[in-house]
Structure 1
């Protein structure tokens, strides 16, 4: 089961109070968070369908810059993320992207990162935010809707194999998409009627978002199709091995031997599929694991966190942690 955690970072208002979600109403599994502060006013509605599709509906105005963090606390990989942005543009930041991605207005944006990761959406002051964010465990979603693995369409197999791990696909709103998003944002129903209406819209929007898979640029398609399925399978085996043995100090040569590829093929194919080098991938996994330890442990020790994930040099660990998360380990541990 995938759970999306919402965390808002923004300045305090003129009264010195923290603009937190100050009113929450639960109605048949639909949570409506109402915010009314000098800097931020509006609603965030969230719910989960019976097949674990998470939906967040945004409808608010903001008067100062702020960041909306969406985390994946259960560590699920290959999370299907569809962002329907109906108002002003914003920036999407994710560790798999080399730089923030522009989320344009009146467009659908789709991404399926190949690792457990978190997203940050940055909004500028004096903007109107209206839209929907749909997230689900893509592998589970596919398995629930196809009886036989052999019947899964190729674009979905490609997505599961990491072809779109570092790609943010976008598509102009169709009339159908626009109407569904509008109806969801401005839904005035209550109780079970509202729940069923929103769930129906969510599933239809999920279907429309999934249909965009495979519609990538010709350059990307040509680059990816040059990797045969056997090599792709072994590259993903290497990624899985790194994720399961992140604390071990195995060499790239040893890893290549384990999956049955020469180092050159593994390194070049890994970069094409996962968007980063083997070393950077391993570093990201280690740092994510260390962050999880620091957050979940009652009295965490930074040196223990470094040692648990395979760092022999605590100073180097602290330096890389700060670069990755823009915070020192002690800052994370103190929360």
Structure 2
């Protein structure tokens, strides 16, 4: 895929403006500024846009069926940003930092750290209000035929091709989902600058495509298991799942989750069983083991990994790991 000739995410003006700002108020340079150099991604093409609104930094790498975009957005005030694309396309959007709610015409699009969604974006310009703050997003732009092949049931709102009256961005199954541990590992590989040249391109392409498939599988499962769950319930359980994923190194109890998220034990158990196919306790264990697999691949000691994923005793960790994977942590490290 070729990098589009227009900038996909562009600041256009403060709240209440009609024509946006003059070009003289914006500085655009094809480099990373010094303060963002530590965020450099090897083999990615950089662009920095600065103005009275703040700073938008993007880096992009184009591959055969996908384009990987990494955005760092720092806004000094509430501002309108324009999402613009040359042709109907799809974005797998992972929010790594920040939280707000965007509105594209009648479509509500929550943006929250630790979640992802698959967005169908019609050709043209789509303006939305972003609240003052800092955001980091990793986006994978995917060819339409690839999405059609992987999601033949077309769970998007509306039809495809998109009629004129439906020319607004829409989410697959109208959900955002917690980023799985395996996908987080691939995100870190994409954002790394430890390798250079062709080796870096190949490693990042592999990581981006594996991350895409992991997220697609999870979205497909959600579409099948959340039909009877209301949007408010869905968002509540997703918040619980994100919290669990961010606190795997501490003791997480059901009473603590119920108190923190103001939800009854019965509803919490029932919701997790319907959405994830296992009890909340089993879900916590599963997430601990998935994170442990990644840490073991980094050649960390078994006892160290046990503590890092919330087990007070190494023996308990080994027993839980073997129950979930069929092998011991030590044997897994040797694979």
What TM-score results when the alignment is normalised by the length of structure 2?
0.48
**Normalising by the residue count of structure 1, what TM-score does the alignment of the two structures yield?**
0.48
